[in-house]
Amino acid sequence: MSKNISINVNYLTRVEGHGNIVVEVKDGKLEICRLEIVESPRFFEAFLRGRSIYEAPHITSRICGICACGHTLASIQAAEDALGIKPTDQTILLRKLLLHYEELDSHILHIYLLVAPDLVGVPSFVPLIKSHPDVVRRALRMKRLCNELCDILVGRHVHPISAVVGGFTKLPSKTELEEMHKRLVELQKDMEATVELFRGLNFPEFERDTEYVALVNDEDEYPLLYGDIGSTDGYRVTKYEYKNVTNEFIVPYASAKRTKWHRDSYAVGALARFNLNHEKLHPKAKEAAVTLGLKPKCINPYLNTVAQIVECIHCIEDSIRIIEFLWQKGINYDEVVIPDINERGILPQRAGEGVGAVEVPRGLLIHHYECDEKGIFRNANCIIPTNQNTHNIELDMLKLVPEIITQSPDEIRLSLEMLVRAYDPCISCSVHMVEVKVK
Amino acid sequence: MSKPKVAFFDFACCEGCQLQVANIGESLLDILDIIQVVEFREVMSEKWDGEFDVSFVEGSITDEHAVERIKKIRERSKILVALGSCATIGGVNGMKNCFPLEEVGKYVYGESYKFFPTLQTKAVHQVVPVDYFINGCPVYQPEFITVLKCILQGIPYYVPEYPVCVECKLNENVCMYDRGLTCMGPVTKAGCNSWCINNGNICYGCRGLTINPNTEGFKEVLKKYNIPEDFLMKKIEMYNKCRELDKQ
């Protein structure tokens, strides 16, 4: 068959950041198939130099507005590890709660506003306001509820205020715990309707086996905030050995680094977490997975969105558990942290190195810091989920295009856009961090 | 009367300010009743090739490609709004300007740095004229809605020129200086309802310095609490480094 196709999606829409898809088919043969990252570099790693490691969560949160809480939590973990600060049990619980809110907020944005329009064949949620008013109202209501949860806990979702190195600058009152509980119960109902909605929608059928990578642990808890790094190929290393996992490499046409472990590429994100840790999900989340037909090991990347729905249920149920526990036990308000007091040398500082490894909505996020004896940055290295997924997406595209080559260019373009969107890429993040070294 | 055509564009930023707009929740539907959003890449695939009545621009201008792009957007826009700190004052991207550009490039990308050409970070008004400013990292939703109302009525929006301290006092927060901390509140433009201090943190100056900061009074505060000036300069640089380009 001789067929020429040229697809050039300049500035992929409904993703965070700037990326292009380029596909060239000549005489029926796939010649070029790329996901190009064209976001302008912002050089975060360079300008962290000379700043206090205590400022890191505030500054690195600004890498990404969508995963701001995730960056903050990974940054805090790396900084505390470097400084030798051990968070209290209460702080850890509140951080787990914050991470659940982050997963919820980001997943709901992705599921409803970014993915759903493709499944019903419209270019954005705007036409859905007329055709599916109840669904749009529900989506916006769920977004608002998630935002309010973050507002109560950390001041706001985009660039959280009160989560800092050492703990929280403000702790929720008993009334605020009740307020959060009320909203989570509201979300429970909307989540049930979400499962019903997606039960009736069809995702493209496409499979490619790959190595899935996520945090793993030996406890009963679904690992999000802490763990070792594990893979569906049966490997496991500590977070300090992350470089053995990521093995970063560069391709000439993209400004972001890529990664591979035991295969040519690996994938991180909700589907990876589901494949590795599904048995630790809340029973209600497991039930939803069955309803939605999601079974481990699932190798259809389009179903990452379904894994996100399943995770949302887990996060809501586990948040309710945490809040009920805190409500009964009572919050210790003596643990409020005074921000930035260290900067004038009031808190002891030390030279050190630390790693933060956290499961954020799009997958495994690593921050690795090194500071001098005054707590001033020497080295920073961040490995972003989207960087870990880029090469895997491209290999998916390489397998997918020949399978759908008889379709029209518009259909092929849509399938590819949907594939990239399924991974929920965060392109702003992906170019902002590469390894840096102080000579 | 047809609805005003509104677009959202982003440059070097985290896209958090656009997200703040998307996060307005169900009231977004009321807003969409009176405006027509014709381009918003982060959440929409629709594109528009005509003139924009209002363009919201998030992010700083950091390379030649961005300079060309913002000029084209300006030409096509009746009203151009800088959305968020990266756009209004350069924001955290400005910290790059503390270092020589070539050194920054080499530091991050090694010898491949030439593939990633970069310019000194600039706020949007340092490249093209801007009609409205919405400060903040991120923008404060109530202020976004106020500015949108002003734009639709064709009246100017005046960014508050008094410092964050005024709002902070009304919120009855304990002064951070009294708690032994260095806060940017006394020299930072208000309008955020002292968001960060209400949540137990200090003000980082994300909304930009007041046009006429009370420097003498501020120096007295620094002296009173024994805070070195260079320590404070470092704090100012976090968001306000690009300010020096205004003076050129």
The pLDDT of residue A193: 97
Helix (H) or strand (E) holding A261: none
Among partner residues B29, B46, B200, which is closest to A169 by beta-carbon distance? B200
A337 in Cβ contact with A161 (< 8 Å):
no
- Distance, CA of A175 to CA of A121 (rounded, Å): 44
Among partner residues B40, B104, B227, which is closest to A43 by beta-carbon distance? B104
Q: Give the residue on B whose Cα is nearest the Cα of A417.
A: B45
Question: Is B204 at the interface with chain A, CB within 8 A?
Answer: yes
Domain CATH number, residue A181 = 1.10.645.10
Q: Is the model more confident about A311 or about B221? A: A311
CA distance A361 to chain B (A): 16
Helices (H), A278-381: 283-291, 304-329
A72 burial type by CB count under 10 A (0-12 exposed, 13-18 middle, 19+ buried): buried
Among partner residues B92, B180, B227, which is closest to A59 by beta-carbon distance? B92
The pLDDT of residue B112: 73
Among partner residues A63, A64, A147, which is closest to B23 by beta-carbon distance? A147
The pLDDT of residue A255: 61
Cβ within 8 Å, pair B29-A147: no
The pLDDT of residue A47: 86
The pLDDT of residue A254: 66
Q: Best residue in B199, B206, B227 to probe A by mutation, most A CBs within 10 Å?
A: B199
DSSP A240: G
Q: Which residues of B touch A11 (CB under 8 A)?
A: 41
Among residues A176, A173, A175, A180, the alpha carbon closest in space to that of A333 is found at A173
A389 in Cβ contact with A364 (< 8 Å):
no
Cβ within 8 Å, pair B92-A62: yes
Q: Return the number of other C-beta atoms located less than 10 Å from residue A104's C-beta.
A: 29
The pLDDT of residue B118: 83
Question: Is B194 at the interface with chain A, CB within 8 A?
Answer: no
Q: Which residues of A touch B231 (CB under 8 A)?
A: 343-344
A351 in Cβ contact with A125 (< 8 Å):
no
The pLDDT of residue B221: 80
Domain presence at residue A204: yes
Cβ within 8 Å, pair A123-B44: yes
Question: Is B162 at the interface with chain A, CB within 8 A?
Answer: no
CA distance B172 to chain A (A): 15
Domain presence at residue A12: no
Tell me whether strands A236-237 and A228-231 are parallel, antiparallel or unpaired: antiparallel
Question: pLDDT tens digits, chain A, 439 residues: what are they?
Answer: 457 878 777 666 666 666 788 888 888 788 888 887 766 678 888 889 889 899 999 999 999 888 999 999 999 999 999 999 999 999 999 999 999 999 999 999 999 988 998 888 888 888 888 899 999 999 999 999 999 999 999 999 999 999 999 999 999 999 999 999 999 999 999 999 999 999 989 999 999 999 999 999 999 999 999 999 999 999 999 999 999 999 988 777 666 678 999 999 999 999 999 999 999 999 999 999 999 999 999 999 999 999 999 999 999 999 999 999 999 999 999 999 987 655 566 666 889 999 999 999 999 999 999 999 988 999 888 888 988 999 999 999 999 999 998 898 888 888 998 998 999 887 655 544 332 223 2
Among partner residues B46, B179, B180, which is closest to A123 by beta-carbon distance? B46
Cβ within 8 Å, pair B20-A169: no
**Structural domain boundaries, residue A354:** 44-430
Q: Give the residue on B whose Cα is nearest the Cα of A155.
A: B199
**Highest CATH level, class, for B5-153:** alpha beta
The pLDDT of residue A15: 65
A159 in Cβ contact with A140 (< 8 Å):
no
Q: Which residues contact residue A123 at a Cβ distance below 8 angstroms, ignoring those fewer than 6 apart?
A: A117, B44, B45, B46
The pLDDT of residue A123: 82
- For B:216-235, CB contacts with A below 8 A are 227, 231, 234
Q: Which residues of B touch A114 (CB under 8 A)?
A: 43
ipTM: 0.94
Q: Give the residue on A whose Cα is nearest the Cα of B11.
A: A40
B/e letters for A35-70, b = 16+ CB within 10 Å, e = fewer, are bbbbbbbbbbbbbbbebbbbbbbbbbbbbbbbbbbb
Q: Which residues of B touch A343 (CB under 8 A)?
A: 182, 231
CA distance B56 to chain A (A): 16
Please report, for residues A304, B186, B189, B221, B247, the alpha-carbon distance to residue B214 in angstroms, rounded to integers and kept in the order given.
Answer: 54, 8, 12, 11, 18
- Distance, CA of B5 to CA of B219 (rounded, Å): 47
Polymer length of chain B: 248
Among partner residues A11, A41, A343, which is closest to B41 by beta-carbon distance? A11
The pLDDT of residue B20: 92
- Distance, CA of B63 to CA of B80 (rounded, Å): 20
Q: Which residues contact residue A57 at a Cβ distance below 8 angstroms, ignoring those fewer than 6 apart?
A: A71, A72, A75, A76, A79, A163, A164, A165
- Distance, CA of A56 to CA of A60 (rounded, Å): 6
- Distance, CA of A238 to CA of A218 (rounded, Å): 13
Domain presence at residue A22: no
| DSSP labels, A149-199 | HHHHHHS-SSS-SSEETTEESS---HHHHHHHHHHHHHHHHHHHHHHHHHH
A93 in Cβ contact with A54 (< 8 Å):
no
- Could you give the number of structural domains in chain A? 1
Among partner residues A143, A168, A428, which is closest to B15 by beta-carbon distance? A428
Q: Which residues of B touch A162 (CB under 8 A)?
A: 199-201
- Round the average pLDDT of chain B to a whole number and report it: 90
Q: Best residue in B17, B42, B118, B135 to probe A by mutation, most A CBs within 10 Å?
A: B42
Q: Is the model more confident about A118 or about B81? A: B81
Cβ within 8 Å, pair A117-B104: no
The pLDDT of residue A343: 59
CA distance A180 to chain B (A): 17
Instruction: Give the alpha-carbon dihedral of B198, B200, B201, B207, to 10 degrees.
Output: 0
Give the A:B interface size as CB pairs under 8 Å: 184
The pLDDT of residue A437: 29
A74 in Cβ contact with A365 (< 8 Å):
yes
Through-space distance between the first and last CA atoms of chain A, rounded to whole angstroms: 56
Enter the pTM of the model.
0.93
Is residue B189 pLDDT above 50, yes or no? yes
Cβ within 8 Å, pair A161-B201: yes
Mean pLDDT, residues B68-79: 96
The pLDDT of residue B96: 93
Q: CATH 3.40.50.700 occupies which residues in chain B?
A: 5-153
Q: Which residues of B touch A334 (CB under 8 A)?
A: none
Q: Three-class SS of residue A29?
A: strand
Q: Is the model more confident about B91 or about B111? A: B91
The tokens for A193 are 């309707």
Tell me whether strands B52-58 and B5-10 are parallel, antiparallel or unpaired: parallel
- Distance, CA of A289 to CA of A291 (rounded, Å): 5
Q: Return the number of other C-beta atoms located less than 10 Å from residue A275's C-beta.
A: 21
- Distance, CA of A238 to CA of A81 (rounded, Å): 14
